[in-house]
Amino acid sequence: MMDFTMKNIDGKAISEAVNKETAAEVEALKQKTGKVPGLAVVLVGDNPASKVYVGSKVRKCGELGIYSEKIILPADASQDELLDVIKRLNNDPAIHGILVQSPVPKQIDEAAVVDAIDPDKDVDCFHARNVGRMMLGDFSGFLPCTPWGVMQLLERSGIETKGKHAVILGRSNIVGKPMTALLSAKGADATVTVCHSRTQDIASYTRSADIIVAAIGKPEFLRGDMVKEGAVIIDVGINRVEDPSSEKGYKLVGDVAYDEVAPKASRITPVPGGVGPMTIAMLMKNTLRAFLKTING
């Protein structure tokens, strides 16, 4: 297997740079105000992957000087119990950001949960008010963490988006739709095509793309014959696939067949170590933005 690491966009290194900036600003604000940003992470149930994600978010808060509160509710918690927790957090002046870890158990109405979070504490940027502002081109508030992370990867890697053809694989509310807004906005100025499960002949679109953002939720969906030479590939996917040779019995792969696509790409994000670390880094940035809003009004 050839070594394509020189082409890799190092999400770990870039996220560390972002986190260093956040930590410095948090410390400066602490010296100035005597206060720090606060993030509450709520987990309903004991989904193993969710527990890992929650743990990593709380740990990152500690590293950056951000106060955190972890709240774990039983898997059979009712909708009203969760809404009561959110109401308390909405009214807690020490908490500036609230995140309810997905997925939630089937008895929980996730849309109602998102709607219940104070939009000024919606650091995931899922609330309709924050999404609407972003879609209208107002990027001064919260931005969705993964798409914002992708934009930071492109910008900090010196990858030009102006006038480029960007193809987004996937139309989810979490990645695909906001990614379209950010890439096509003034300043980024890409021409964006969105492909999804009902798109016919997806390869005819991806072969013309200068930038591909793969967020379609299918392991190694994007193959080598679907990209042109020199394309920039951003792999948002993270999938567990069986791997008998692994000690865990599985391995993590993205939505891109890395070994096929990397030889043709000019730059590419690996999985893991690409987009993943950026999502938490931008969550911390959103929490800082929420705190700044309480100071500056």
Under 8 Å CB-to-CB from 283, ≥6 apart: which residues?
Answer: 39, 57, 97, 99, 123, 124, 145
Would you say 151 and 189 are in contact if contact means Cβ atoms under 8 Å apart?
no
Residue 11, classed as helix, strand or coil, is helix
What CA–CA distances, in Å, run from 23 to 78, 87, 154, 276? 37, 28, 22, 19
Q: Which of 137, 153, 100 is nearest to 267 (CA)?
A: 153
Q: Which entry of 57, 121, 177, 285 is annotated as an active-site residue?
A: 57
CA atoms within 13 A on the CB side of 168: 22
Going by their DSSP bridges, the two strands 232-235 and 250-253 should be labelled as: unpaired
Helix boundaries (H) for 65-201:
79-90, 110-116, 128-135, 145-156, 176-184
124 is catalytic: yes
CA angle 174-175-181, nearest 5°? 105
Q: Which of 154, 17, 34 is nearest to 94 (CA)?
A: 34
Would you say 37 and 97 are in contact if contact means Cβ atoms under 8 Å apart?
yes
Q: Which entry of 10, 60, 101, 121 is annotated as an active-site residue?
A: 101
162 is catalytic: no
200 is catalytic: no
Q: Which entry of 10, 120, 122, 124 is annotated as an active-site residue?
A: 124
Residues belonging to the active site = 57, 101, 124
